[in-house]
Amino acid sequence: MSMRGPGRGFLTEAEKANAPKITKELLARVFSYLKPYWKQMTLVLCAIVISSILHLYPSILTGKIIDVGLGQKNLDALVFYIMLSLALTLGANMIGVLESYLNTWIAQHITYDMRNQMYKHLSKMSVRFFTENQQGDIVTRMTSDIGGVQQVITSTFSSILSNSITLITALVAMYRKNWILATVGIIIVPLFTIPSRKAGKTRWTLTQKSQEYNDKINSILNETMSVSGQLLVKLFGMEWFEQREYERVNKKMIDLNIKESMAGRWFRVVISTFSSIGPMLIYFIGGLLMIRYGADLTVGDVTVLVSLLSRMYGPVNSLLNIHTEWIRSMALFTRIFNYFDMPIEIENAPDALTPEKAIGNIEFKNVFFQYNPERMILKDVSFKLDAGHSIAIVGPSGSGKSTLINLIPRLYDVTDGSVLFDGIDVRKLDLSFLRNAIGVVSQDTYLFSGTIRENLMYASPFGTKDQMIEACKKANIHDFIMRQEHGYDTQVGNRGLKLSGGEKQRISIARVLLKNPSVMIFDEATASLDSISEKAIQDAIDPLITSRTSILIAHRLSTILAADEILVVKDGRIVERGKHEDLVKQGGVYTELYNTQFNPDLKKEEKE
Ligand code: ATP
């Protein structure tokens, strides 16, 4: 949410409740990011001190201009003080430019460091992390939160510094002129700041409410203006409902915006009234002291005091917000650090092994697995797959088939037991070696937006064009690609939405073939394809099954028949195993599956 304007000085209830504990460790950690830039920071500090002092000087020189230049009708002195005043302002502004450049430079470099560190860290997180966290949260952490750090450095840190320095120098200068007027000034400043804070708070509450409605509008748009959302709305004929809802929220938001804008108007009235009371009081009391009590004050002195007073409003107001900004900044850092501190679940063992060559023998030894402590998903799974052979895994939906294959490339680690690759526990193998050796065609194929060629070459950035075409021919997709207007340079659309499920699967088979892994894992799509697509996929995978080590989660009889062995999984256990002819006669889980899902006669009946 935007925190510009009068709202910056207030914390929401949620922010108050979640205010971070500011510990020495936290501060040390924040400062550890600033440390590499300490030279630049020292320069910024000097620039801030010099420019704050230089900025105040013209106010003090006003006194000389009035008393010496104008009062004594001394033209030389008048010109001198005017020129000096202009030169000092120019100097202060030049230093100000240097200061903002350095500030931005430091802030950008710190966010650059943090973003890279975060991306690297997130890339190492396990799939579990990505399934358990909303994608939006991760993106927010990467963009808004780290972007916020930049704001903290360019604005919060430097505003604390420059405002404190301006305030102190202004106070010292005022007291040196006249202590009575300086004290009056100090009493006046809160008179101005307190009412304006109150007015600001009202406006801020309204802004927050309107922001809530803005979020609602965004969420309605996101949900209903997406392809799947529109399909749902259209198919259920709910256009009228969505329109009514949209209009209602939209109306609420404009009502709030009008209120907020008027509150802003009142806010400005309050500010300008109060800020004009201050100078008048100084003139009045200064005049009183000069006229009635013969105080040692000149017209110039009073003018200087008025001018210094007006320079104090800004810094005082900002410093009143410091507490809020400080809490908010620390909360920001805490959120980012929480992400950095999340343990990396699956990473290379310190003494990870990298065998010279991957053969492709796979063994599960009494494997148990759970996603969360409540439920054991895989129970005592043991099987062996020798290189060059193939296994088909079948079982009812939710029985744990995908979970089982996810353990091989270490998308998850076993809870108990072990998975061996070429006789070595996968947890002891180098991760990139292991993942290079295993190719997975998953059920829901993911294509990046880009061209077909880019998607294919993702598997083998240094592969040749001939290799790419050969892989596509094997995957039975080359002819389809060549029929497209732009051939291999056809855009696949947002996440491959322009392609059918069958086409996407064949592209992803070609992608895995280009990678040329020792073991191929194929999670057959459950979604039914038409018989032509099904045949095309079947023709693509049949030769694969016979030519390389493969594990197939099978939903089609032809896939099952092509495998050397069938494992039947139910409730996370292997309940039957063997050849089709034997299993089908057993009258167990497989027979039932066969009768309900795979039996070709049954499929024919269904189609009729
Ligand atoms: P299907 O044939 O429908 O794809 P499957 O046999 O492949 O099913 P799995 O995807 O392995 O089944 O799921 C096994 C069980 O684990 C299911 O009950 C599922 O709800 C649960 N499960 C799957 N993924 C997760 C996860 N990330 N967190 C928690 N539970 C999960």
**Centroid of ligand 1 to alpha carbon of 260 (angstroms):** 49
For ligand 1, atom 9, the nearest C-alpha belongs to 400
Tell which residue, 327, 246, 312, has the closest CA to residue 275.
Answer: 312
pLDDT of residue 602: 59
**Centroid of ligand 1 to alpha carbon of 364 (angstroms):** 19
Mutate to test the pocket of ligand 1, among 126, 372, 402, 408 (most ligand atoms within 8 A of CB): 402
Rounded Cα gap, residues 577 and 569, in angstroms: 9
pLDDT of residue 189: 78
Rounded Cα gap, residues 44 and 191, in angstroms: 33
- This prediction's pTM: 0.73
pLDDT of residue 535: 75
pLDDT per residue as tens digits for the range 566-584: 999 999 999 999 988 888 8
Question: Under DSSP, is residue 463 helix (H, G, I), strand (E, B) or coil?
Answer: coil
Looking at every residue in the chain, the average pLDDT score rounds to 85
| 37-46, 229-238, 359-368, 390-399: least confident range | 229-238
For ligand 1, atom 18, the nearest C-alpha belongs to 398
Rounded Cα gap, residues 472 and 475, in angstroms: 5
**pLDDT class of 261 with cuts at 50, 70, 90:** confident
pLDDT of residue 601: 64
pLDDT of residue 20: 77
**Atom from ligand 1 closest to the CA of residue 404:** 11
**Centroid of ligand 1 to alpha carbon of 525 (angstroms):** 14
For ligand 1, atom 10, the nearest C-alpha belongs to 402
**Atom from ligand 1 closest to the CA of residue 128:** 27
pLDDT of residue 528: 56
Helix or strand run (H / E) with residue 436? helix 431-437
For ligand 1, atom 26, the nearest C-alpha belongs to 371
> Looking at per-residue confidence, does 118 or 188 come out higher?
118
Q: Quickly count: other Cβ atoms within 10 Å of residue 527's Cβ.
A: 11
pLDDT of residue 494: 64
Distance from CA of residue 572 to its chain's centroid?
36
| CB neighbour burial string for 25-47, b if at least 16 within 10 angstroms, e if fewer | eeeeebeebeeebeebbeebbeb
Tell me the mean pLDDT in the region 207-227.
84
pLDDT of residue 606: 54
pLDDT of residue 5: 43
**Centroid of ligand 1 to alpha carbon of 377 (angstroms):** 8
> Looking at per-residue confidence, does 451 or 324 come out higher?
451
Rounded Cα gap, residues 298 and 30, in angstroms: 50
**Centroid of ligand 1 to alpha carbon of 400 (angstroms):** 6
For ligand 1, atom 17, the nearest C-alpha belongs to 398
Instruction: Identify whether the C-beta of residue 84 lies closer than 8 Å to the C-beta of residue 332.
Output: no
Instruction: Identify whether the C-beta of residue 352 lies closer than 8 Å to the C-beta of residue 431.
Output: yes
| Distant-in-sequence, close-in-space partners of 584: CB < 8 Å, separation ≥ 6 | 590, 591, 594
Binding pocket residue ranges, ligand 1, CB within 6 Å: 131, 371, 377, 395, 397-403, 526
Is the pLDDT score of 423 beyond 60? yes
Q: Quickly count: other Cβ atoms within 10 Å of residue 192's Cβ.
A: 22
**Atom from ligand 1 closest to the CA of residue 132:** 27
**Atom from ligand 1 closest to the CA of residue 406:** 11
pLDDT of residue 284: 92
Tell me the mean pLDDT in the region 218-235.
85
pLDDT-above-70 percentage for the chain? 94
Q: List C-alpha distances in Å: 181 to 171, 279, 291.
A: 11, 11, 15
Instruction: Identify whether the C-beta of residue 481 lies closer than 8 Å to the C-beta of residue 472.
Output: yes
Phi, psi of 387 (to 5 degrees): -55, 140
**Centroid of ligand 1 to alpha carbon of 415 (angstroms):** 16
Is the pLDDT score of 46 beyond 80? yes
**Atom from ligand 1 closest to the CA of residue 372:** 29
pLDDT per residue as tens digits for the range 136-179: 778 887 888 888 888 888 888 888 888 898 889 888 888 988 88
**Centroid of ligand 1 to alpha carbon of 144 (angstroms):** 33
One DSSP character per residue, 63-105 reads HHIIIIIIITT-HHHHHHHHHHHHHHHHHHHHHHHHHHHHHHH
Is the pLDDT score of 132 beyond 60? yes
pLDDT of residue 22: 80
> Looking at per-residue confidence, does 129 or 559 come out higher?
129
Q: List C-alpha distances in Å: 244 to 24, 153, 219, 238, 255.
A: 53, 44, 15, 10, 17
| Eight-state DSSP code of residue 19 | P
pLDDT of residue 2: 37
Mutate to test the pocket of ligand 1, among 399, 407, 559 (most ligand atoms within 8 A of CB): 399
**Centroid of ligand 1 to alpha carbon of 398 (angstroms):** 5
Q: At what angle do helices 239-291 and 299-320 cross, to 10 degrees?
A: 150
pLDDT of residue 84: 94
For ligand 1, atom 20, the nearest C-alpha belongs to 398
Rounded Cα gap, residues 295 and 508, in angstroms: 90
For ligand 1, atom 3, the nearest C-alpha belongs to 397
Tell which residue, 302, 344, 371, 312, has the closest CA to residue 165.
Answer: 312
**Centroid of ligand 1 to alpha carbon of 138 (angstroms):** 23
One DSSP character per residue, 307-345 reads HHHHHHHHHHHHHHTHHHHHHHHHHHHHHHHHHHHS--S
pLDDT of residue 427: 94
pLDDT of residue 3: 38
**pLDDT class of 497 with cuts at 50, 70, 90:** low
Is the pLDDT score of 198 beyond 80? no
**Centroid of ligand 1 to alpha carbon of 130 (angstroms):** 15
**Centroid of ligand 1 to alpha carbon of 129 (angstroms):** 16
**Centroid of ligand 1 to alpha carbon of 443 (angstroms):** 12
**Centroid of ligand 1 to alpha carbon of 508 (angstroms):** 22
**Centroid of ligand 1 to alpha carbon of 297 (angstroms):** 85
Mutate to test the pocket of ligand 1, among 129, 370, 371, 567 (most ligand atoms within 8 A of CB): 371
**Atom from ligand 1 closest to the CA of residue 127:** 27
Tell which residue, 573, 604, 565, has the closest CA to residue 589.
Answer: 573
Distance from CA of residue 59 to its chain's centroid?
46
Mutate to test the pocket of ligand 1, among 368, 401, 597 (most ligand atoms within 8 A of CB): 401
pLDDT of residue 4: 39
Mutate to test the pocket of ligand 1, among 130, 369, 375, 377 (most ligand atoms within 8 A of CB): 377
Instruction: Identify whether the C-beta of residue 242 lies closer than 8 Å to the C-beta of residue 250.
Output: no
pLDDT of residue 1: 34
pLDDT per residue as tens digits for the range 349-373: 889 899 999 898 999 999 999 998 9
**Atom from ligand 1 closest to the CA of residue 131:** 27
Q: List C-alpha distances in Å: 223 to 232, 245, 253, 491.
A: 10, 13, 19, 25
Instruction: Identify whether the C-beta of residue 101 lies closer than 8 Å to the C-beta of residue 64.
Output: no
Q: List C-alpha distances in Å: 528 to 492, 531, 535.
A: 22, 9, 12
**Centroid of ligand 1 to alpha carbon of 367 (angstroms):** 16
Rounded Cα gap, residues 60 and 372, in angstroms: 70
Rounded Cα gap, residues 548 and 518, in angstroms: 7
Is the pLDDT score of 536 beyond 80? no
pLDDT of residue 592: 87
**Centroid of ligand 1 to alpha carbon of 353 (angstroms):** 31
